[in-house]
Structure 1
Amino acid sequence: MTVQLDHRPGLGRLYAKAVATARSRRGDQLPETSVEMADVTIDREQLASYAEVCGFRHSDVLPPTYPHVLAFPLAMTLMVDPSFPFPLPGLVHVANRITQQRTLRADERLTLRVRATDLRPHPRGRQFDMTIEATVAGEPVWAETSTYLRRERPRSSRSAKDPSPQPGEGQGGGIAPTAIWRVPRNIGRRYAAVSGDINPIHLNPLVARLFGFRRAIAHGMWLKARCLAALEGRLPHVLTAEVEFKSPVLLPSTVGFSSQLKGSTWAIAVFQRSSGRPHLNGSIEA
């Protein structure tokens, strides 16, 4: 079943619903429903604000990460639907892959479609993918897969020595930074204002502590956008940008950014400047 939206839903209302229904959510299956919205237009003022917050140049060309912002209300609509099995609070964004087929312009109208797919076990619970497809006049132009982890108590059938990488673990391995970024305390609020992602763990240190963080944390998709912005002008128009979020960036922080071109692929990393602890690892391929 496909749910057709004719306007963007308010994210404040969706977050309130997510909190109100969190305790009642149960299940072992993802909904077969998709959420779609046609004729999505670009607000140029919002686009300019997004570019400023993330470090992109002001342009009528959309940053590769910008359609994520356009589709985020659709993803939220699906995740607060009664058929969705997991409570939104506590889900961990562990990976993101974006494929852009061509340059997207601010005067184009997009059709966006969001689905939840591929529920599967993880050493620390269960994970699933939220997929987004963007088309222009029927032409596929952009796609995204965001992987989320629902943390749960280990089941006896799972090995306690599972070697799979865990979110937030590992060390940076002495990577030499190509840039040092000082991430300000207010970046969570600034990104929330331009993206609509008002999850309070990014805005309020007291709420962040309830979820185990010492301070408010930066949005993962802001961090990915900041990486792509650092390479703006050197990336092809057709690309796949894939990252894993290894550990949260506490606000404020000083982090190192590393980028290295190998053939047609950029290897990128963000890590704690003082300890080398990784925050993000990824690649950008032509």
Structure 2
Amino acid sequence: MDYVTQIIDPPPSRTRLLLDGVRALRKPKLDGVPVLPKERLVRSAVELSATGIAGYGRACGFRHEQGVPLSYPHVLAFPLHLMLLTRPSFPYPAGGMVHLANRIRQHQRLHPGQALRIEVYAERWVAHPKGQALSIATRAYSADALVWESDSLYLRRDVKNPLGEPWGEALELSKEGLLRTQRWVLPADLGRRFAKVSGDFNPIHASMIGAKIFGFRRAIAHGMWTLGRALAAQQPPGGLDQAEAHCDFKLPIYLPGQVALWSHPVTGPRRAFEVRNAAGDKPHMRGLFIWKALDE
């Protein structure tokens, strides 16, 4: 597919992004098949700010000695995701798009102060059993080398005859040997606190009223906070060279609430895990974390 590259420097303010999000809550009924957006949105030099990393680390539980969190570049790219989903060229209303899954790969060590070129574009339609899904690609480059990438799957429910190849990438992990390793007590304002460091001010995370508009009984935690918190509990000290994190988001986590991390005992740099409800019988997220530490 031929993309039209658009340089987004400087990025829009949070107020502008919120206003665009409100305007994109309603769109004309789609007539015909959806067309994949053709824009490739680019920020040419985004700094891995030590201050930003520290704020994100506090929100998710990362420690300074763990280096740059594997999931941190996603928050730098998120404004571009939001711009793509709220543009007139995107065929569906942004409100109600559900984040289903994320796949992250880091190819080289990241360090504070490093400048990244971040590119975001709609990669492909995916036919999902619950509707039309869309894979959004994020690519981060340093000195023209691909150093970090992710693919985020978003879903528009109840779309008949969805386009694309059928979704067949769900994580299938053995639950044998999973043990509860941590319990997390989540405050009511977690969504608002994470929004300040991630830029994701979706109303389903910010307030009970906003959540009820979209069918939730209370505010729910960000899926990317859940992933970040799970990685913070497992990422080794000393930083990462190469790493992967795959996750599927399952049931929403209502705020306030309690959840627990279940994972396999440490047997090497590969960890299957789940974030489950307090009773331990329902998954909120299923994941796989594979890493190569810097000192290995």
- TM-score, with length taken from structure 2: 0.86
Matches within 5 A, 1:89-238: 89-152=95-158, 154=160, 176-233=179-236, 236-238=240-242
Query: Which piece of structure 1 moves more, 147-156 or 239-248?
Result: 147-156
Q: Distance in 1 between matches of 2:181 and 2:65?
A: 25
CA gap 1:231/1:264 in 2 versus in 1, 3 angstroms:
closer
Unaligned runs of at least 5 residues, structure 2:
292-296
1:258 aligns with 2:224: no
CA gap 1:274/1:23 in 2 versus in 1, 3 angstroms:
same
The structural deviation recorded for 1:274 is 2.0
Q: Distance in 1 between matches of 2:15 and 2:72?
A: 20
Which secondary structure does the structure 2 equivalent of 1:46 belong to? helix
CA gap 1:245/1:60 in 2 versus in 1, 3 angstroms:
closer
CA gap 1:256/1:73 in 2 versus in 1, 3 angstroms:
same
CA gap 1:138/1:183 in 2 versus in 1, 3 angstroms:
same
CA gap 1:282/1:19 in 2 versus in 1, 3 angstroms:
same
Conservation of the 8 A alpha-carbon contact between 2:250 and 2:285: yes
Q: Which of these residues, 271, 275, 282, is aligned with residue 287 of structure 2?
A: 282
Query: Which piece of structure 1 moves more, 75-84 or 14-23?
Result: 14-23
Conservation of the 8 A alpha-carbon contact between 1:60 and 1:106: no
1:241 aligns with 2:260: no
Residue number in structure 1 paired with 2:273: 268
Q: Which amino acid is 1:221 matched to?
A: M
Superposed CA RMSD: 2.5
Unaligned runs of at least 5 residues, structure 1:
157-161, 167-171
The structural deviation recorded for 1:155 is 5.8
- Deviating runs (4+, > 6 A) in structure 1? 162-166
Conservation of the 8 A alpha-carbon contact between 2:66 and 2:236: no
Residue number in structure 2 paired with 1:169: none
Residue number in structure 2 paired with 1:64: 70
Conservation of the 8 A alpha-carbon contact between 2:102 and 2:153: yes
Which secondary structure does the structure 2 equivalent of 1:177 belong to? strand
CA gap 1:35/1:208 in 2 versus in 1, 3 angstroms:
same
The structural deviation recorded for 1:17 is 1.6
CA gap 1:116/1:265 in 2 versus in 1, 3 angstroms:
same
Conservation of the 8 A alpha-carbon contact between 2:8 and 2:43: yes
CA gap 1:226/1:275 in 2 versus in 1, 3 angstroms:
closer
Q: Which amino acid is 1:199 matched to?
A: N
Q: Distance in 2 between matches of 1:242 and 1:96?
A: 6
CA gap 1:60/1:124 in 2 versus in 1, 3 angstroms:
closer
Query: Which piece of structure 1 moves more, 123-132 or 19-28?
Result: 19-28
Which secondary structure does the structure 2 equivalent of 1:135 belong to? strand
Conservation of the 8 A alpha-carbon contact between 1:52 and 1:58: no
Residue number in structure 1 paired with 2:294: none
Conservation of the 8 A alpha-carbon contact between 2:127 and 2:167: no
Which secondary structure does the structure 2 equivalent of 1:231 belong to? coil
The structural deviation recorded for 1:37 is 1.0
Conservation of the 8 A alpha-carbon contact between 1:259 and 1:266: yes
Q: Which amino acid is 1:251 matched to?
A: L
CA gap 1:174/1:247 in 2 versus in 1, 3 angstroms:
farther
